Amino acid sequence: MANLSVNFCDVKFENPTVLASGILGVTASNLRNVIRNGAGGVTTKSIWLKEHVGHKKPTMFGTKEWFLNAVGLSDAGIEKAKDETFPEYLKDKPAPIIANIVESSMEGFAELTEKIDACNPDIIELNLGCPNVEDEHGKPFSCVAADAEKVTKMCRERTKKPLIIKLSPNVSDIAEVAKACASSGADGFCAINTLYGMAIDITVRKPILTNKSGGLSGPGIKPSAVKAVYDIYKATRLPIVATGGITSGEDAIEIMMAGGRLVGMGTMVYYRGVEGFGEVVKEMDEWCDKNGVKNIEDIIGAAHN
């Protein structure tokens, strides 16, 4: 039995696995169920200031190798988070919770940061990189380093809690964006958000997603995620919630060696169900035992040595 606990921005996680934002997590009871099934922590769906209607269906489907979604960040708004989700989750809090927030303007992000701070999450995560709402809200802020730096600074001024930035992989140099955020006070990162993707049904000759374009996740994107995490770690050495195509204990170990401190999993649930969290943790533990690793923190960034 290795020690799998991880310290992330002074928040203690019993194991490195966390539910990534956007998968499950519509209700507090569903988040608690994820912890019951073995996750070390959870991330909320993206929370908006006001209720936000997502895209029409189909919003998601997958294959053995990849998964495509364009839910469109549907959410009931900060009021539901404040009145229902957070109070219900924090009562006998089972594990740390990361609040993921999103807005279309920098001012909105700053206002929401203050409001979510009052809900008392352990960590605040800015979703600066969702590829699925560009038609309504334009290019995500994390696609331009100067924008990412500015919005990070504005949010930094509104909270003392750990503030991490979820980065888009759809950029030419993700390390440059990470450095820009670090320079304006980011405590860490979550990477990667989904890649751009599209699938066309050749019988009806139309994109399957109603939004036409979507976010690509699943096992096929893991090498992109490992490379991005490696680059961000090398450039900043800040803690990273590493996510993207992780579906097994060995995947999790690999991306931690690239620099991940926590490991986010979302699409994994499609392949292994919510029970997959506990199974991945067990696989990580077995790997550690087999390889003489006593503390999981010892492997973070190991590939850089």
In the complex, least distance from residue 47 CB atom to other proteins, rounded to whole angstroms: 11
User: Cα angle at 299 between 296 and 305, to 5 degrees?
Assistant: 165
Interatomic CA distance for residues 110 and 100, integer angstroms: 13
Q: Catalytic site residue 119?
A: no
Q: Torsions phi, psi of 4, nearest 5?
A: -95, 0
Nearer to other proteins, 120 or 210 (CB): 210
Which structure tokens are listed for 179? Answer: 């450095």
Interatomic CA distance for residues 98 and 80, integer angstroms: 16
DSSP 79: H
In the complex, least distance from residue 203 CB atom to other proteins, rounded to whole angstroms: 4
Nearer to other proteins, 160 or 205 (CB): 205
What count of Cα atoms within 13 Å lies in the side-chain half-sphere of residue 145?
A: 12
Nearer to other proteins, 188 or 219 (CB): 219
Active-site hit among 9, 119, 130, 190: 130
The verdict on whether omega for the bond into residue 58 sits within 30 degrees of 0, i.e. cis, is yes
In the complex, least distance from residue 188 CB atom to other proteins, rounded to whole angstroms: 25
Nearer to other proteins, 45 or 179 (CB): 45
In the complex, least distance from residue 155 CB atom to other proteins, rounded to whole angstroms: 24
Residues found near other proteins in the complex (CB under 8 A): 23-27, 29-34, 36, 45, 51-54, 56-64, 67, 69, 71, 74-77, 80, 84, 199, 201, 203-204, 206, 208, 210, 266-267, 269-271, 273-274
Contact 163, 185 (CB under 8 A): yes
Query: Catalytic site residues?
Result: 130
